[in-house]
Structure formats: structure tokens, C-alpha cells
Amino acid sequence: MKDKYLVIGGCGFIGSNMVDRLLSKNNEVIVLDNLSRSGSEKNLEWLKEKYPNKLEFIRADIVKDIGLLADAVRRSNTILHLAAQVAVTTSVESPRHDFEVNALGTFNVLEVVRKFNPDAKLIYSSTNKVYGGMENVEVVEKKDEYQYKLYKNGISEDQPLDFHSPYGCSKGCGDQYVRDYARIYGLNTVVFRQSCIYGPRQFGVEDQGWVAWFVIAILTGKKITIYGDGKQVRDVLYIEDLMDAYQSAFKRMNEVKGQVFNIGGGPQNTISVWYQFKPILEKLFGNIIDTESGKWRPGDQKIFVSNIQKPNAYLDGRPNILQKKASLSFTNG
């Protein structure tokens, strides 16, 4: 049977890139999105202009519009669930909204799949924030970054969960429901606990999408706030690598169903969010960047680096699937 894709949250950064890739290969795609995210309407218009006769768009909310969601699920067999409230700070300010979108919304997606299309394949976009602040993991403070004392290959999927912040709780709830629906109901589900993804069509804002946000802030003359000390380290992954991993997981669903994967650039593609990123930006834009300091945010990890040995071993049988294009494209320029 030919795959027919449903991309839930298909007008966001990751979703619009994935829809573009799928439509460019003449796949059938349904896009379901409520257009609440900054930049989502721009991404939708871009997709409509590029694929005027191919794109099927449904404006719907996964919390409220269950009938529309069910209709889309019935007519698809390969589902990528990206819809989410994505910011820690927003979750602290509006925890009920955060819970409804991330926990209840994901539950609604699973129930619709279970009732109406249980043979469909589903990937859930989770987050490294399900591991919390990882205060029990020893780190070493260096001049311009934090390093793990012991975890030279990064954090594996065996790291204990610790849902620190309402966002961590709501995404962790969805994460575990998706995993458990494979065990209890036999659904074809996979969880991707994603690190920092970057690339085109990313309309970053201050509390989400920091790589894009720093660039946008500089271009628009907005002051950048550095929360914490700026030495926090993240592994970064280019969007094309992430999409390769999605398609590999769909292709190998019989082998990977019920699995959880940490998805990121890994130890070879890390950067501290300001001490190491700032000189790159100043070289790129040719000026000193004005910043101000802010307090550490709830659940903010001093360092998170994904151990990507498991996805590199499982996904498509290819070594280093997550390291082909992962590093920031202008870091060595």
C-alpha cells in the first residue's frame, strides 16, 4: 500500500519542511494545523504557492476538533505528530493550556488512531526536556562551556525521566502514552526525544528555537536576553538529518515500534548557547551584539548532548544517519 501521510502540526518549522520534502517526491499529504504558532500562516502560504494542486490543508485543533482529526486519520496510514505547545516559559505562565495541547492533544491523537486506524504508523516528536535538569549528572564548568564528567558519548535513552517544568510534564506525559500504546494496544508508534533542531522556515522566538531567534533578533534590532550564564551546551541537528531519521523510522516500523530514540547532533555537534555562539554571530554580522542577563529558567539543563548510538544503529541500518549535515552550516565559515 502506498503511504499517505498526515502531518499534524504541518505548518510549523519541522512540519513545513517535512511536508515540502514529501510533496516534492509526489507523496499524498494531509496537513492538519490550527495555525496558532508564530510563522505558521507564512509557512502555509509558502506551501500553497509551491504546491497549489497537491496540498490538502485542514485547519483543526487536536484538543477540540476531534471529528476533523478522526477524518484525517482514517484517510492516512503514516502519521507524524508534531503539534505542541513548545515553550517552557509559556508552560509556566499557562500550565492548563500547555497540558491540554501536549498531554490531552496527544491522547486524542492516540485514541483516534486506536479506534479508527490501528494499523497506521505514528511518530511522536518529544523532547530532551523529559529528562529534567539532570542535577544528579556531574558536570564540569570550563571557560566557555559545561562538559559531562562521565558521559562522553552523551545521554542515552536509559537516563531516568524527571519532568521538570509544566512543559516537561506535558511532553513527558505524551511521550509515555505514545510508548505505552505500542505495548498495550499494539499500535505502531515511535518516540523521538529531540534535541535542538535548526534550519529554514524556523521563525524562532525568545523562548523557543534559540539558534533562529538569535539571528532574527540581530537582524531586527532586538535585544537578546541570555538566561543563565550562557555556557549551557546543546547538541544541534540540521532539519534534513531529522527528516531522514523520520523516514527511516517509518520505513523500519516493524523493527522499531515501541522504541524511544534520543535524536540530536551528538557529541560531535555541540555548542554553548552564547559563549561559543556569540563570536560566530559577531563574525557573521560584523558587529558587537547587545545582550542582557536573565535568571536560569525552570528545568534548564547546564548541558544536554544526545547519545545517538541507538538511532544510528537502528534507523535504516546506516551508521551516522544523524551526522551527515548536523553541524551549524556557518560555524566553520
Question: What are the pLDDT digits (tens) for 186-233?
Answer: 999 999 999 999 999 998 887 788 899 999 999 998 889 999 999 999
Query: Does this model's pTM top 0.75?
Result: yes
Residue 257 has a pLDDT of 97
Which tens digit of pLDDT belongs to each residue from 1-45? 688 999 999 999 999 999 999 999 999 999 999 999 889 999 999
- Determine the straight-line distance between the first and last CA of the chain, rounded to whole angstroms: 45
Residues 6+ apart with CB under 8 A from 222: 216
CA 247 from chain center: how many Å?
Answer: 15
CB 105 within 8 A of CB 68: no
Active-site hit among 5, 146, 148, 167: 167
Closest CA to 122 of 78, 72, 183, 180: 78
How far apart CA 264 and CA 270 sit, in angstroms, is: 10
Mean pLDDT in residue range 105-118: 98
Active site residue 167: yes
pLDDT at 319: 44
Q: Strands 139-141, 146-148: parallel, antiparallel or unpaired by DSSP?
A: antiparallel
| Residue 147 β-bridge partners | 140
- The three-point CA angle 5-317-27 to 5° equals 20
Contact criterion met (CB below 8 Å) for 45 and 78? no
Query: What is the percentage of the chain residues whose pLDDT exceeds 70?
Result: 94
Q: Tell the CATH topology of 84-314.
A: Rossmann fold (3.40.50)
Task: Determine the Cα–Cα distance for residues 81 and 122; give it in Å rounded to an integer.
Answer: 7
Distance CA 129, CA 208 (A): 12
pLDDT, average across residues 67-96? 95
Domain segments of the chain as ranges: 84-314
Residues in CB range of 81: below 8 A, 6 or more apart: 8, 9, 106, 109, 122, 123, 124, 125, 178
- Residues 128 and 126: their CA atoms lie apart, in Å, by 7
Model pLDDT for residues 171-185, shown as the tens digit of each residue: 999 999 999 999 999
The model's pLDDT over 125-147, given as tens digits with 9 standing for 90+, comes to 999 999 999 999 999 999 999 99
